[in-house]
Amino acid sequence: MSEMFREMVEFFSLADSEKQQYEAKSASDPIKCGNFNVANTSNQSFTLWREYLKLYVHPDFHCPHQPQLLRDVVQEYTQMIRVLTRKLIEAVCEALELNQRRYVDEILKMESSFQLFATNYYPRCPQPDQAIGIPPHTDHGLFTFLIHNGVAGLQIEHDGKWFNADSPKNSILVNAADQLEIFTNGRCKSVKHRAVVNEEKDRISIVVANGPSGEAVSIGGLRWWRKMGEQSIVQ
Ligand SMILES: O=C(O)CCC(=O)C(=O)O
């Protein structure tokens, strides 16, 4: 993990001219970075205090050429996360007493699953109450895996209140995401979260979002589960 954070620091320390080539032009760019802007939702405006890099890493792998070791560490880490994701899907099926575990992996076409790697750099902020790292949202995909450099900042919403998610350094925090909620017919709830900033320490988080394949036919599970005779999850 320390190698990963070293590479992220190196990326964010590159000259602006180097990073500019990856500046986000469209949401679907396979490599994009950006920084410090304003995000508007229907009823709120947020000042974002962060720099980010986002990469589509599977089924096709995209990565900047600099820093030199970035490619290798991202490839190795995301490959391991894909293995973990498939194991977690199996565990969810087991917990829900689904007998069709094999088919779930097939129907989601996990062999060619969609995977996004993102890293966020939140420098210390002189007025943390006037800005946010990332506004409240839920993630696309099935599971999101998050690690950080030992500085707290992630908050999770529960019953309309925000709680600090103080996961220890060197641990991986796993969030349920939107497609898992759909796929489990609401049994696993997609977690609403946000990142706050602080005035004392720089924070870096690394997030890997894992979805089914873009080729998978609608995982709106109900019809499929009915066909498979899994009444327990349908009800
Ligand atoms: O930095 C964090 O703790 C949260 C990151 C996050 O929610 C995201 O990248 O979508």
CATH number at residue 114: 2.60.120.330
What's the confidence (pLDDT) of residue 112? Answer: 96
What's the confidence (pLDDT) of residue 100? Answer: 73
What's the confidence (pLDDT) of residue 34? Answer: 92
Q: Is residue 234 part of a domain?
A: no
Q: Is residue 135 part of a domain?
A: yes
Q: Is residue 233 part of a domain?
A: no
Q: Which residue stretches of the chain have pLDDT < 70?
A: 42, 217-235
Element (H, E) at 203: strand 203-210
Short-list 169, 160, 165, CA closest to 133: 165
Q: Is residue 231 part of a domain?
A: no
Atom 1 of ligand 1: nearest residue by CA position: 205
Q: Is residue 232 part of a domain?
A: no
Q: Is residue 168 part of a domain?
A: yes
pLDDT tens figures, 134-192? 999 999 999 999 999 999 999 999 999 999 998 998 999 999 999 999 989 899 999 99
What's the confidence (pLDDT) of residue 234? Answer: 45
Residue numbers of the domain that contains 212 = 2-36+45-226
Q: Which two tokens stand for residue 47?
A: 């000042």
Q: Is residue 56 part of a domain?
A: yes
Ligand 1 neighbours by CB, cut-off 6 Å: 118, 120, 133-134, 139, 146, 153-154, 193, 195, 205, 207
CA 228 / ligand 1 centre spacing (Å): 36
Q: Is residue 235 part of a domain?
A: no
What's the confidence (pLDDT) of residue 227? Answer: 56
Query: What letter represents residue 200's amino acid?
Result: E
Q: Which atom of ligand 1 is nearest to the CA of 153?
A: 3
CA 157 / ligand 1 centre spacing (Å): 13
CA 205 / ligand 1 centre spacing (Å): 7
What's the confidence (pLDDT) of residue 224? Answer: 56
Domain count, the chain: 1
Alpha-carbon dihedral of residues 71, 137, 149, 168, nearest 10 degrees?
Answer: -120
